[in-house]
Structure 1
Amino acid sequence: MKKMQLMTLALGAGLVLAPAAPASASPAELESAAVDAYLTRAWESTALPGMSVVVTYQGKVVHAAGYGRDAAGRPVTERTPMRVASLSKSFTAMAVMTLVEEGKLALDEPVVNRLPDFRMADPRAEEITVRQLLNQTSGISDATVDLGAAESAPSLAGYVAELGSGKLAADPGTRWAYSNANYETAARLVEVAGGRRFGDYLKERVFEPLGMSGSAAGDPAVRPADGFNSLFGVWMARSELRDFPYGGGAGGVVTNAADMGKWLISQTGRGRQLVGAESLAAMHAPSEVHDYGMGWGKQSVNGADMLVHAGNLFTYTAVEAIDPETGYGFAVMTNSAGLYDDTYDVLTGLVAMSQGDTPRVPGGDRQLIEVILGLVVLAAAGLGVLGVRRAGPWAARRAGRSGRRVALRLVPVLLPTVLLALYPATISFLMNGRTITWEQLTYHAAPLTITLVVAAVAGLVTGLARLRAWRSVGSTR
């Protein structure tokens, strides 16, 4: 639910929310034509390749449409398939809750009761409950499990098995830590308790009952085109770093704006219901230690308290939000991912409109960030060339000085190299312990990654040239 992608956090930016809106006008005043006009401007100003959006209100779809094109050159419509990344968690929570209502699972029973293969190198893991998986309070952390091995597994059963060498970062139920491992384990629970593949269960018990005919998880027939990454202002089509052949309870859902409208309506307690009102409320309620519920988190958007979840999957970005009190629902999905997440800005504008306020048309932030980084790249490369050319005079001025003093003088130019070496670990720390790999950093983080690489290489080459020149000067005296 961040306004910025994880890489922007590395630049020191945080969540920026719009100020609270004044007393809203009647929600019924929101009309499709007005929404379309705003979204058209937003798409143009953000320069996103493609965007699909749906707005619902009290059981009806106000507006569902697509803007732009996909990587194959086809127009994006309300039925264009989009990866929704971590929005998948709300669907996984719903699948679990349908099994809870059937008595095949219980929220407060240990996971190992229903999933005997769930074992970790930590005896506390036997205490983890189904509820704690969904609330992200199980104690599982990216930093204490081998996510690389788990994500390479060909099935959910294999994924869970790879968690066996991991430990917990905290006692179950005492601390919140966002980890995809919680929801992949929950998806495996659905397979075991539901008696079928996770994607099949979602299709039969969630998608089909709601009429979401264009939605799937792990179905090759429902596959979106490649998405895009922005590289210094230029959108480049790229395939996903990771596929989800087994469905993926943490991020494997593919859907479209028309289907998301049906989902949002159901989540506001209107239209076709998959579970009872108490179960729906339980999914929306925060845990005892965090505002995150079960695939939804409480958050203020333009001054309105809403349930929100955002997601990013290398080349796709999405955000969903509902207001159970007013019956409004919103979903913004893009076939792109950059340093700056425009979907949250578009959502904020839609919420403002639902309040009778005038929305701010988003756009320009991503472009500005990438222009600045591009200038840094040029400056770093230029300084590197200059540093090498002037290595001789630099060394001559320091002839006769001790190696320690010279080494201290080289620290500033070598600092970017140190930062590059610590890059994944630093971003993981800024992301509250989420594991970030070098491969991931070459996707929507590409502009920042390239900037750091160029600065590091320039500094390293300059440092080596200066050291070599200093030694040469010393040997001639």
Structure 2
Amino acid sequence: MFVTWGPKVTTSKTSFTRRRLLQAGAGVVPALALGASPARAAATPIVSGVVPAALAGFDTAVKKYITERQISCAQLAVARKGKILLARGYGMYTVPAASGTGVRSGIARYMRVQPTSLFRVASLSKHLTSAAIMRLVQDGRLSLSAPVTTVLGLSAEADPRMEQVTVLRLMQHLGGWDRATSKDQLWIDHTISATLDVPLPISHADIIRYATARPLDFDPGSKMVYSNYGYMLLGRIIEKVSGMSYESYVKQKLLAPVGITRMRLGRSLRAESPAGEVNYSSKYTAKSVVDTSGAVVPYPYGGFNMPNQDANGGWLASAVDMVKFAMIFDAAGPVLNAASIAKIFAKPETGVNAGGSWYGGGWWVRSNGSGLNTWHNGSMPGTFSFLARIQNGVSYCAVFNRREEEGTLDFDAIDPLLGKATGTVTAWPSTDLTPNYF
């Protein structure tokens, strides 16, 4: 499986990653990485959690992957047929010492990454948003054919084609926005602030006002172009229809029914990190978007507005949380019924790639002959993540505290590495680790 943050392309994965960094990181300059030192990351990683002997191939692959790329924090979880079989944390991160602990306040201390540590999962957030939309549809509160202009009361004055942008087209990236032409609206805070003459930090409402004042880049439904903005709009639809905040709705209707309690939306600054969230590493800095100071900050901490990313890339989770939540797509259950799941994976009106894959609702999808493989990755400064559901009921998730920024080692290589590890398993364990982590 070849997975990218955006649509599948025919160019090399490495060159696509380079363009992706430029699109999301215009104006950034090199800086020292945050988190554990490269020397520590390059050594044999410190580990936590459980790896059954039968699944040692997964653990070996990830250790090699993070050592080669000098990744200081990582996680891996593997599940099969509703059971979590492997849960692993790799590396260390730093937190300030709390006062009264016997350690001088303000002195950083190392913490071991646990299987339950929190990471920004970036675009792995999208299948949560799609599931939330389908839950509203399932409950009779929303139609997939409803125009976004009607649901959110948006103007089509700048482009009458806006009336053709439906909820389903937003889910399938068919809405009409092309970030290669108009730039990604979630990553141009300074432009939006200056254009609208509003102070930083900008809000969702500001982003929508900026985008709807401009024409679409193509006819809705005519082609598939990956759009973070489209998923941000889905978050606002969830709020409008449910009468709840996006986060509250997802927690109440999606996460609580399957016993997931740790997941939450992330914040922009390191000082705002909840207990158990790792540090994020990047060589880049950027001008702050969270205040008007004009300060140059580490790119993962204030170089972008994390709360604005909510429905398209804002969740904090562990790898075990992600594979646990992915189980809701295996069969009808307390969150989604069979019809809702089928609609999420259904082929769109256009956009099936030459290799036979398509974008459903928050998942890339491909038929494997006996069923469907579904997957997604996530990428933002300081984060790379990958989640897949494949044949034989196997799913796996890997998350890391930095993404590809330089060098020749392709971060997308985690996909075939974990796929190959799956093929080495001759007998799957029967022990279920789920109670250990929920």
Q: Residues 169-184 of structure 1 correspond to what in structure 2 (within 5 A)?
A: 169-184=217-232
Alignment check: 8 A CA contact 2:120 2:266 kept: no
Alignment check: 8 A CA contact 2:135 2:336 kept: yes
Alignment check: 8 A CA contact 1:48 1:334 kept: yes
Alignment check: 8 A CA contact 1:69 1:76 kept: yes
Structure-2 residue corresponding to 1:136:
173
SS at match of 2:127: helix
Judging changes above 3 Å, is the alpha-carbon distance between structure 1 residues 185 and 155 closer, same or farther for their aligned structure 2 residues? same
Matched, 1:63 2:86: yes
Judging changes above 3 Å, is the alpha-carbon distance between structure 1 residues 77 and 169 closer, same or farther for their aligned structure 2 residues? same
Structure 2 residue corresponding to 1:297, chosen from 361, 364, 378:
364
| Distance in 1, Cα, partners of 2:73 & 2:184 | 35
Matched, 1:285 2:353: no
Q: Residues 62-141 of structure 1 correspond to what in structure 2 (within 5 A)?
A: 62-72=85-95, 73-117=110-154, 119=156, 121-141=158-178
Judging changes above 3 Å, is the alpha-carbon distance between structure 1 residues 30 and 355 closer, same or farther for their aligned structure 2 residues? farther
The root-mean-square deviation of aligned C-alpha atoms, in Å, is 3.1
Judging changes above 3 Å, is the alpha-carbon distance between structure 1 residues 5 and 94 closer, same or farther for their aligned structure 2 residues? farther
Structure 2 residue corresponding to 1:187, chosen from 197, 213, 235:
235
| Distance in 2, Cα, partners of 1:195 & 1:30 | 48
Structure 2 residue corresponding to 1:313, chosen from 343, 368, 380:
380
Matched, 1:31 2:54: yes
Please report how far the alpha carbon of residue 170 of structure 1 lies from its aligned counterpart in structure 2 after TM superposition: 1.5
Q: For residues 327-353 of structure 1, give each alpha carbon's deviation from its aligned partner in whole angstroms, at most 9, with x where no partner exists.
A: 111111001122367553233222222
Q: For residues 244-270 of structure 1, give each alpha carbon's deviation from its aligned partner in whole angstroms, at most 9, with x where no partner exists.
A: 235621111111122112112222337
Q: For residues 251-301 of structure 1, give each alpha carbon's deviation from its aligned partner in whole angstroms, at most 9, with x where no partner exists.
A: 11111122112112222337x541111211211223121211111113599
Q: Which has the higher strand share?
A: 2
* Counterpart residue type for residue 286 of structure 1: K
Structure-2 residue corresponding to 1:50:
73
* Counterpart residue type for residue 4 of structure 1: T
Judging changes above 3 Å, is the alpha-carbon distance between structure 1 residues 218 and 190 closer, same or farther for their aligned structure 2 residues? farther
Structure-2 residue corresponding to 1:269:
331
Residue identity (%): 25
| Distance in 2, Cα, partners of 1:112 & 1:221 | 35
Deviates more, 1:180-189 or 1:138-147: 138-147
Structure-2 residue corresponding to 1:214:
262
Structure-2 residue corresponding to 1:204:
252
| Distance in 2, Cα, partners of 1:278 & 1:10 | 34
Q: For residues 32-87 of structure 1, give each alpha carbon's deviation from its aligned partner in whole angstroms, at most 9, with x where no partner exists.
A: 44433443343334331111111111111121111012254321121111011111
Alignment check: 8 A CA contact 2:115 2:318 kept: yes
Judging changes above 3 Å, is the alpha-carbon distance between structure 1 residues 66 and 120 closer, same or farther for their aligned structure 2 residues? farther
Judging changes above 3 Å, is the alpha-carbon distance between structure 1 residues 41 and 76 closer, same or farther for their aligned structure 2 residues? same
| Distance in 2, Cα, partners of 1:164 & 1:120 | 8
Structure 1 residue corresponding to 2:424, chosen from 336, 345, 356:
356
Q: Residues 309-458 of structure 1 correspond to what in structure 2 (within 5 A)?
A: 309-323=376-390, 325-339=391-405, 343-356=411-424
| Distance in 2, Cα, partners of 1:240 & 1:333 | 21
Judging changes above 3 Å, is the alpha-carbon distance between structure 1 residues 274 and 30 closer, same or farther for their aligned structure 2 residues? farther
Q: For residues 353-378 of structure 1, give each alpha carbon's deviation from its aligned partner in whole angstroms, at most 9, with x where no partner exists.
A: 222379xxxxxxxxxxxxxxxxxxxx
| Distance in 1, Cα, partners of 2:63 & 2:86 | 13
Structure-2 residue corresponding to 1:227:
280
Structure-2 residue corresponding to 1:465:
none
Please report how far the alpha carbon of residue 30 of structure 1 lies from its aligned counterpart in structure 2 after TM superposition: 8.5
Structure 2 residue runs of 5 or longer lacking an equivalent are 5-12, 22-51, 96-109, 194-199, 285-297, 352-357, 427-438
Alignment check: 8 A CA contact 1:51 1:334 kept: yes
Alignment check: 8 A CA contact 2:404 2:411 kept: no
SS at match of 1:249: helix
| Distance in 2, Cα, partners of 1:129 & 1:178 | 15
* Counterpart residue type for residue 347 of structure 1: D
Judging changes above 3 Å, is the alpha-carbon distance between structure 1 residues 281 and 312 closer, same or farther for their aligned structure 2 residues? same
Structure-2 residue corresponding to 1:429:
none
| Distance in 1, Cα, partners of 2:117 & 2:87 | 11
Alignment check: 8 A CA contact 1:230 1:337 kept: no
* Counterpart residue type for residue 314 of structure 1: P
* Counterpart residue type for residue 134 of structure 1: M
Judging changes above 3 Å, is the alpha-carbon distance between structure 1 residues 183 and 36 closer, same or farther for their aligned structure 2 residues? same
Alignment check: 8 A CA contact 1:319 1:343 kept: no
Structure 2 residue corresponding to 1:254, chosen from 316, 328, 337:
316
| Distance in 1, Cα, partners of 2:266 & 2:136 | 20
Structure-2 residue corresponding to 1:25:
none
Q: Which has the higher helix share?
A: 1
Judging changes above 3 Å, is the alpha-carbon distance between structure 1 residues 266 and 8 closer, same or farther for their aligned structure 2 residues? same
| Distance in 1, Cα, partners of 2:184 & 2:233 | 14
Pairs aligned (count)? 333
TM-score normalised according to structure 1 size: 0.63
Please report how far the alpha carbon of residue 312 of structure 1 lies from its aligned counterpart in structure 2 after TM superposition: 0.8
Please report how far the alpha carbon of residue 194 of structure 1 lies from its aligned counterpart in structure 2 after TM superposition: 1.0
Please report how far the alpha carbon of residue 133 of structure 1 lies from its aligned counterpart in structure 2 after TM superposition: 0.5
* Counterpart residue type for residue 42 of structure 1: Y
Structure-1 residue corresponding to 2:49:
none
Please report how far the alpha carbon of residue 91 of structure 1 lies from its aligned counterpart in structure 2 after TM superposition: 0.9
Structure-2 residue corresponding to 1:4:
14
| Distance in 2, Cα, partners of 1:346 & 1:329 | 14
| Distance in 2, Cα, partners of 1:96 & 1:37 | 38
